[in-house]
Amino acid sequence: MQKHEISDCLDPFIQVCKNFDLKITPQRCAIYKKLMRAKNHPTADEMFNIVKKEFPNISYDTVNRTLLTFAEIGLVDIIPTKGGPRRFDPDMDEHHHFHCLDCGKIVDFSSDEFDNLGIPDHIQDDFTVFTKRVVLNGLCKKCRKKRGLKDRIIVT
Amino acid sequence: MQKHEISDCLDPFIQVCKNFDLKITPQRCAIYKKLMRAKNHPTADEMFNIVKKEFPNISYDTVNRTLLTFAEIGLVDIIPTKGGPRRFDPDMDEHHHFHCLDCGKIVDFSSDEFDNLGIPDHIQDDFTVFTKRVVLNGLCKKCRKKRGLKDRIIVT
DNA sequence: CTTTTTGCAAAGCGTTTGCATTGAA
DNA sequence: TTCAATGCAAACGCTTTGCAAAAAG
């Protein structure tokens, strides 16, 4: 039904599915393609609305379950958040996060210094570490400005 | 009703409440005391069950709302998690977290190297950073052992 | 006496489950 | 033909809201 069929760059995805005995369904391919293109950190619902445009019959449920499956096989990360709907991070390369305490926005950034951090010995004794991430909390430009006007509590 | 009344070490707490125009209620005091004593990262429900023992008439709702209020005024942190109930962290000193991917356990640890990390300049331009934390993901000893036996997918 | 806070109950939101149907292999 | 994946709907868990009654300052 599409112009350039299944030929975007799905080969690695197909390989991963095979490795994990997952069937290559058109829904999964559609979700994967849109996910890889996502620049922010979409929720299941946001992904559902994006994929639905090209796949009107897909259910929210399939999108949600597929994203969880992708997380299980290491195609996406689930971002730890302080609440609200789950957010998925399609960037699996090492990177770090800034969270805005007011609007909740999550911003990716890179830092060689952070990437090069070692894992403390006393941690390695008791735990096997797969990933490491520095998480910064604060205020984005917009919210910093807003706070100046609002009489809101400053959380230190 | 209690042996050593309101005299544990609530003075700083009372001061903070006054600063934020919050009334000093027995519920808030009870929750605060138990919270400061909590060694893990309790959920609202866990705190409710703890406080209920000494305060049988307290409602879950008061505990939950109080914890959120405490978070607002900087007496506790809300720990970002990948799902499940919200967890509160009573330790407001700089420290770092290890998350077990299988059992979800969160372990605190200290690291001078991590504490001494600078914030990248390009971040400081656009964001005001309040806190910084290194988050490690992996497997705790118990779950590492379990995985050896279970035929479970290894993430990463 | 005024204004918060509490407790309760209902509503809300996002996630998860069960199951019949569909579709990939 | 077989077994996993899908879509739908209902159930679930946790969080939030609204409001009358109680309590703090």
Closest CA to B44 of B64, B29, B59: B64
pLDDT of residue B146: 81
Which whole-number Å values give the CA distances from B50 to A18, A112, B10, B87, in the listed order?
48, 44, 18, 15
CB A134 within 8 A of CB A96: yes
pLDDT of residue A8: 63
Mean pLDDT of chain A: 90
**Which pair of tokens denotes residue A24?**
């290559």
**Residue-wise pLDDT tens digits, B34-47:** 999 998 999 999 99
pLDDT of residue B5: 44
What are the DSSP calls for B3-19, one per residue?
TTTT-SS-HHHHHHHHH
Residues 76-135, chain B, touching A (beta carbon < 8 A)? 78-83, 86, 98-101, 107, 109, 111, 113-114, 117-120, 122-123, 126-135
Residue A153 has pLDDT above 90, yes or no: no
- What value does the CA radius of gyration of chain A take, rounded to a whole number of Å? 19
Give yes or no for CB of A85 within 7 Å of strand C.
Answer: yes
Q: Give CA–CA dist A110/A108, Å, rounded.
A: 7
Q: Could you give the dihedral angle defined by the CA atoms of residues B114, B115, B117 and B120, in that order, rounded to the nearest 10 degrees?
A: 110
pLDDT of residue B65: 98
Which residues of B are less than 8 Å from A107 in CB distance? 127
**Residue bearing tokens 């290894």:** B154
**Residue-wise pLDDT tens digits, A6-45:** 346 899 999 999 999 999 999 999 999 999 999 899 999 9
pLDDT of residue B8: 64
Residue B156 has pLDDT above 80, yes or no: no
C1' (D10) to CA (B7) span, angstroms = 51
- pLDDT, average across residues A139-143: 92
**Which pair of tokens denotes residue B26?**
């027995």
Residue B152 has pLDDT above 50, yes or no: no
In sequence order, what E strands does B43-156 have?
77-79, 87-89, 96-100, 106-109, 127-140
**Closest C1' nucleotide to B60's CA:** C7
**Kind of pairing between the strands at A87-89 and A96-100:** unpaired
Give yes or no for CB of B66 within 7 Å of strand C.
Answer: yes
Backbone angles phi, psi at B95, to 5 degrees: -155, 180
Question: Whole-model pTM?
Answer: 0.90
Q: Give CA–CA dist A54/B75, Å, rounded.
A: 47
Closest CA to B35 of B73, B66, B7, B11: B66
Query: Is the pLDDT higher at A9 or at B70?
Result: B70
Which residues of A are less than 8 Å from B134 in CB distance? 117, 132-135
Residue B153 has pLDDT above 70, yes or no: no
Query: Is the pLDDT higher at A64 or at B155?
Result: A64
**Residue bearing tokens 């979800």:** B104
pLDDT of residue A146: 81
- pLDDT, average across residues B108-116: 96
Nearest CB among A72, A80, A137 relative to B130 is that of A137
**Residue-wise pLDDT tens digits, B1-14:** 444 443 468 999 99
- Cβ-Cβ pairs closer than 8 A, A with B, add up to 135
pLDDT of residue B148: 67
Q: Give CA–CA dist A119/A142, Å, rounded.
A: 35
**Kind of pairing between the strands at B127-140 and B96-100:** parallel
**Which pair of tokens denotes residue A31?**
């979700």
Q: To the nearest whole percent, how much of chain B has pLDDT over 70?
A: 89
Residue B81 has pLDDT above 50, yes or no: yes
3-state class (DSSP) for residue A128: strand
Q: Which of A95-99, B102-106, B147-151 has the lowest mean pLDDT?
A: B147-151
CB–CB of B127 and A137 under 8 A?
no
pLDDT of residue A6: 39
- pLDDT, average across residues B15-28: 98
How many residues belong to chain B?
156
Q: Give CA–CA dist B4/A34, Å, rounded.
A: 61
Q: To the nearest whole percent, how much of chain B has pLDDT over 90?
A: 83
